[in-house]
């Protein structure tokens, strides 16, 4: 029998890589969130529909009771649908309280909060994400350097752990400040369209807009994810190769279940 590769200590696991309405609703790609493990800290970013199922369906399974926190970049359904069930799983139905939630104010308050009230007392804390803030959870620093250009309150996140910085540029329209504030060794970009669109429904980055971002940040690895149907039709792995040739930066297109080990970047 072939020897199984040891599971990395530090990793990003992309449970889902689909973005926007159509890909989510047809599940052309999964809309599960992204699990991040840095040292002893386990975080879930943007638990879209299917996240809980994808956690347990992973090999080896990812047990949500091991999570220390759930981070929501914004309240749109493809990012937030499984928020409540993930909090319930993290706290084992309230029998094992703890863990934290990070989310923008409009996900937590106002006319339509999306985190159920009965779950809130199970949590150690609920943090309101704000522009320019830095939060800390165990050994990991979480920064939200800039508010994104998206129809609801939205932030990207920048995680720092030891010598490593990992940036997630979540849903946003392109603006030049993105490349100033998300400097990192690992750069994950939500790239929903192939070409820039200028309509009221098009508040997402396109393939053509990410080249200057990657070129200016020059991470050790850039990962494209959150694909809409135009990206899927254009074969994201081929576009990632093209970008890599143009920029000289190692670039990959995420696929459902992709495990990116961070171990090699933490060794000095």
Residue 39 vs 151, nearer CB to Zn ion: 151
> Judged by CB under 5 A, which of 82, 88, 171, 209 binds Zn ion?
171
Provide the minimum distance between the beta carbon of 186 and Zn ion in the complex, in angstroms, as a whole number.
Answer: 22
How many residues lie near Zn ion (CB under 5 A)?
2
**For residue 20, what are its two tokens?**
């926007």
> Which contiguous run of DSSP H or E holds residue 184?
none
Q: Residue 211 Cβ, how far from Zn ion at the closest point, in Å?
A: 22
Cβ proximity to Zn ion: between 13 and 76 the closer is 76
Chain positions 64 to 83 lying near Zn ion, rule: CB under 5 A, are 76
Smallest gap from Cβ 23 to Zn ion, in A, equals: 12
Stretch that binds Zn ion, among 23-31, 64-72, 168-176, 239-247 (CB under 5 A): 168-176
In the complex, what is the shortest distance from the CB of residue 76 to Zn ion, in angstroms, rounded to a whole number? 4
Instruction: Select 107 or 243, whichever has its Cβ closest to Zn ion.
Output: 107
- Closer by beta carbon to Zn ion, 231 or else 262: 231
Cβ-based neighbour number of residue 172 at 10 Å: 22
Comparing every residue's Cβ against Zn ion, the nearest one is 76
Alpha-carbon gap, residue 254 to 166, rounded angstroms: 15
Rank residues 4 and 199 by Cβ distance to Zn ion and give the closer one. 199
Under 8 Å between Cβ of 185 and 265: yes
Smaller CB separation from Zn ion, 30 or 41: 30
Compute the least distance from the CB of residue 249 to Zn ion, in Å: 26
Smallest gap, in angstroms, from Cβ of residue 106 to Zn ion?
12
Decide: 55 and 6 in contact? Cβ < 8 Å: no
Please state the three-class secondary structure of 13-76 as a single string: EECCCECHHHHHHHCCCCCCCEEEEECCEEEEECCCCCHHHHHHHCCCCCCHHHCCEEECCCCC
Of 32, 224, 72, 38, nearest to 157 (Cα)? 72
In the three-class reduction of DSSP (H, G, I as helix; E, B as strand; rest coil), residue 136 is classed as strand
Q: Which residues are near Zn ion by CB under 5 A?
A: 76, 171
């Amino acid at each position: 029998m072939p020897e199984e590769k040891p599971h990395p200590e530090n990793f990003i696991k992309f449970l889902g890589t689909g973005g926007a309405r159509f890909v989510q609703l047809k599940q052309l790609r999964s809309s599960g969130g992204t699990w991040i493990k840095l040292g002893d800290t386990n975080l879930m970013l943007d638990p879209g529909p299917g996240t809980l199922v994808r956690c347990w369906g992973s090999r080896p399974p990812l047990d949500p009771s091991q999570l220390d926190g759930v981070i929501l970049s914004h309240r749109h359904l493809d990012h937030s649908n499984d928020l409540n069930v993930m909090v319930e799983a993290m706290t084992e139905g309230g029998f094992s309280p703890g863990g934290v939630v990070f989310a923008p104010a409009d996900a937590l308050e106002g006319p339509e909060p999306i985190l159920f009230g009965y779950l809130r007392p199970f949590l150690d804390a609920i943090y309101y994400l704000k522009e320019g803030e830095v939060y800390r959870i165990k050994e990991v620093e979480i920064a939200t350097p800039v508010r994104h250009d998206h129809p609801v309150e939205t932030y990207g996140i920048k995680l720092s752990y030891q010598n490593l910085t990992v940036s997630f540029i979540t849903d946003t329209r392109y603006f030049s400040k993105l490349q100033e504030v998300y400097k990192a060794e690992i750069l994950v970009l939500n790239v929903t369209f192939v070409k820039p669109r200028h309509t009221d429904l098009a508040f997402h980055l396109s393939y053509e807009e990410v080249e200057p971002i990657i070129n200016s940040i020059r991470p050790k690895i850039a990962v494209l994810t959150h694909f809409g149907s135009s990206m899927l039709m254009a074969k994201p792995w081929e576009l990632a190769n093209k970008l890599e040739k143009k920029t000289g930066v190692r670039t990959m297109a995420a696929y459902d279940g992709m495990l990116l080990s961070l171990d090699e970047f933490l060794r000095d």
